[in-house]
Structure 1
Amino acid sequence: MQNIHRYAKRVTIAAFIVLLIATIFYTFNRHLYFFLLVFAGILLAVLLSGITNWFVNKLHVRREVGLLISSILFFGSIIGAFWLLAPTVGKQVQEMRSTVPEVVTQLEGWLSQYGWGQKIVEQMPNDMSKVLPQQQALFSRLSGVVSSTLSFLADLLIVIITGLFFAANPPLYTRGVAKLFPVRYRSRVLEVLQKCYETLKLWLVGMLAAMTIIGISTAIGYSLIGLNLAFALAFIAFLFAFIPNIGPWIAGIPVVLVSLTQGPQMVLYSLLVYGGIQLVESYWITPIIFQKTVDLPPALLLFVQVLFGIVQGGLGLLLAAPILAVIIVVVDEFYVKDFLESDLQAPSVETKSG
């Protein structure tokens, strides 16, 4: 009878664990956007914690003071850079929008030289004003833009608040996660969480360094060849450099459109400059930077980016790389080292007897 009770208890526990795992996966799938926002907050907390720890160790101040200084420097730098660059970039973006009709006209002229291109031109409307929405549709789109803007601001506020709370007292949350595991595993969980923190911190340092190099070198290169809207295009290249593999291709599209307004020769020059910078960044700068930080497998990273992009759009594509970095650490520590290689780490029977 006692064995039956033990068996029933084990079956109940196993069923509960399976149900719990299924519930977690269902919740994660249904509310993936929320979890991505939380992860974005964790990423911000990692950045702020790294800066805060430096101030605490160097200036010997309390953590609250270090976090205040870090937050002022981080958000102040973003606001200051926006304040300095916004007039120039905004003006050039407006010029970029005004050049679109000219680009379309030149593109039609180039396509008309070929038979297959002539068929495409015939399908394009002669009056581009017909493409513009009517007044009723315009108001509908305007309300959608306002709603999207408010949603973006709300999401941004969630990320900032989450990052500040996590950065204020990281041990409070890491110990809370560790308490979800049996006592004998808690020290190991804390060790892996610390390694995840170090991995994300190094990845952020390497990515910010690569983005800065790309942004500055692109602005200099475009200015030297006389490409219009050089700072706006460099700013776009700087932002999309945060998305490995896919980001540079997206940032190259406006370069081609703008250079078309200055002739085929400028298209060639701009592509050479942009391609040269991306080539140097991919095969020289990035390997040097990430050799000492985090090196993600390119093919696996591209697969994860496509998967997250399909499932959750832009936010998933944006966070695919750091999420992959954390997944690699967790799999390597818990599955590879603690499970697959556990027999190699434990002393063998022959060794004990010998």
Structure 2
Amino acid sequence: MSDEGDAPVPPSPIDLSTRARGAVTDAVVWLSLAAVLLLAWHVASSLLLILAGIVFAAGLQGGERLLARFLPVRRSIRLGVVIALFLVAVSAFLFFAGTQIAAQAGQLQATLVAQSERLSTLAKDYGLGGSGDPIAAMKAQIGSSVGKILTVLGGVAGVVGSILLIIVFGIFVAADPRLYERGIEWLTPEHRRAATKATLDEMAGMLSRWVGGRIVLMLFEGTFIFLGLSVVGTPLALLLALVTGLLAFIPNLGAIVSGALMIAIGFSAGTTVGLETIGVYLAVQLADQFVSPMIEKRAVDLAPAIVLAAQLIFGVLFGIMGLILADPIVALAKVALAPRTDR
């Protein structure tokens, strides 16, 4: 055998140096993160529904813990009582809202019929009868409206289905939250499980406090809006109070939407009532500026500008669900990043 056979074998092109292996590892991590973000983008609507269910479960858990102070029974019984109270509240809202809307719709229909008959009489008196077949025109208009009605019904069915999914998912999570927490802990390394459990517990407590704070603000705004609108004589005072209370669940933007609706209905009853409605709205919002910080300090302290920016970003990206859930998303991110900040 020649001496050339004893020459050292050159390094293989696939034998990476330490620096190259580190670069490959970093590339794999970033590509995996990009893949996860891409997948999350495609299933964003489902993820938001899951998050909404978790927020609802946190609200149920908070109500159950509050009830434990007055009702020393098994947890499952207390949770059942909270769920029953929630269903009663939703049913009452739908009943009162439906009654108010039906009454207003009947009044509007009667007004339109009377105005139509009046215009028809005036047209006949001045010889301005319409030409063509009015029945045929009506049929054509009805035919063009069928598609729009079906689209609206489909949208309503989708919203109702999403709400039912959120409620059912939230009930399942609230019934046994520790089961799902253990599953998340199992996915983390053993040396990080204690920290993961502490973070999950803090997130659950924060969500419960946040939901409780929003409910208190909803009751505060809804009650005082109803009292104020009833005093000044704004139409649909109860319905407006219910809508205002519900929209108070959305910080910042909810008050703007409810205020615009309230003022529009107030001016429909006259200029004086409209101006008084503006006064009621401003008075309640001014009082809310004093009450809200005290409640939010005990729940979760977030900078208003950050919350508003998150609402705008998530609203543009994910629509109404992103707008509603922007606040809890920011709060969860704050809790998740708190241990890193402490270190």
The 5 A counterparts of 1:166-315 are 166-282=173-289, 284-315=290-321
State the distance in 1 between where 2:236 and 2:65 align.
39
Kindly provide the amino acid, as one letter, of the partner of residue 314 in structure 2: F
| 2:133 aligned partner | none
| 1:329 aligned partner | 335
State the distance in 2 between where 1:11 and 1:290 align.
45
TM-score normalised to the size of structure 1?
0.78
Alpha-carbon displacement from aligned partner over 1:23-55 (angstroms, at most 9, x marks no partner) = 210011112111110000001111112233455
Change in Cα spacing, 1:220 to 1:96, as seen in structure 2 (3 Å) is farther
Kindly provide the amino acid, as one letter, of the partner of residue 286 in structure 1: S
| 1:138 aligned partner | 145
Match of 2:101 among 90, 115, 140: 90
Change in Cα spacing, 1:61 to 1:332, as seen in structure 2 (3 Å) is same
Kindly provide the amino acid, as one letter, of the partner of residue 338 in structure 2: D
Aligned-pair identity (%) = 28
State the distance in 2 between where 1:57 and 1:273 align.
36
The 5 A counterparts of 1:3-14 are 7=18, 13-14=25-26
Kindly provide the amino acid, as one letter, of the partner of residue 271 in structure 1: I
**5+ residue gaps in structure 1?**
102-129, 343-354
Deviation at 1:57, TM superposition (A): 7.0
State the distance in 1 between where 2:284 and 2:98 align.
26
State the distance in 2 between where 1:23 and 1:160 align.
30
State the distance in 2 between where 1:100 and 1:12 align.
74
| 1:352 aligned partner | none
Deviation at 1:168, TM superposition (A): 1.5
Q: Does the residue aligned with 1:242 lie in a helix, a strand or coil?
A: coil
State the distance in 2 between where 1:60 and 1:269 align.
47
Kindly provide the amino acid, as one letter, of the partner of residue 67 in structure 1: L
| 1:19 aligned partner | 31
Change in Cα spacing, 1:31 to 1:327, as seen in structure 2 (3 Å) is same
| 1:108 aligned partner | none
Deviation at 1:16, TM superposition (A): 3.9
State the distance in 1 between where 2:275 and 2:211 align.
33
Match of 1:147 among 148, 151, 154: 154
Deviation at 1:139, TM superposition (A): 0.8
Contact 2:267/2:275 (CA < 8 Å) preserved in 1?
no
- Is 1:316 aligned to residue 322 of structure 2? yes
Contact 1:45/1:164 (CA < 8 Å) preserved in 2?
yes
Contact 1:88/1:231 (CA < 8 Å) preserved in 2?
no
Deviation at 1:199, TM superposition (A): 0.8
Change in Cα spacing, 1:6 to 1:98, as seen in structure 2 (3 Å) is farther
Change in Cα spacing, 1:194 to 1:231, as seen in structure 2 (3 Å) is same
- Is 1:32 aligned to residue 44 of structure 2? yes
Alpha-carbon displacement from aligned partner over 1:68-97 (angstroms, at most 9, x marks no partner) = 2322222223223433x2354324553796
**5+ residue gaps in structure 2?**
1-10, 113-136
Q: Does the residue aligned with 1:134 lie in a helix, a strand or coil?
A: helix
- Is 1:43 aligned to residue 55 of structure 2? yes
Bigger Rg, structure 1 or 2: 2
State the distance in 2 between where 1:277 and 1:60 align.
37
Change in Cα spacing, 1:225 to 1:58, as seen in structure 2 (3 Å) is closer
Q: Does the residue aligned with 1:228 lie in a helix, a strand or coil?
A: coil
Change in Cα spacing, 1:256 to 1:96, as seen in structure 2 (3 Å) is farther
TM-score normalised to the size of structure 2?
0.80
State the distance in 1 between where 2:145 and 2:43 align.
31
RMSD over equivalenced CA pairs, Å? 2.8
Q: Does the residue aligned with 2:165 lie in a helix, a strand or coil?
A: helix
Alpha-carbon displacement from aligned partner over 1:2-21 (angstroms, at most 9, x marks no partner) = xx589487666544433321
| 1:52 aligned partner | 64
Kindly provide the amino acid, as one letter, of the partner of residue 50 in structure 2: V
State the distance in 1 between where 2:264 and 2:92 align.
30
Q: How many residues align?
A: 305
Q: Does the residue aligned with 1:244 lie in a helix, a strand or coil?
A: coil
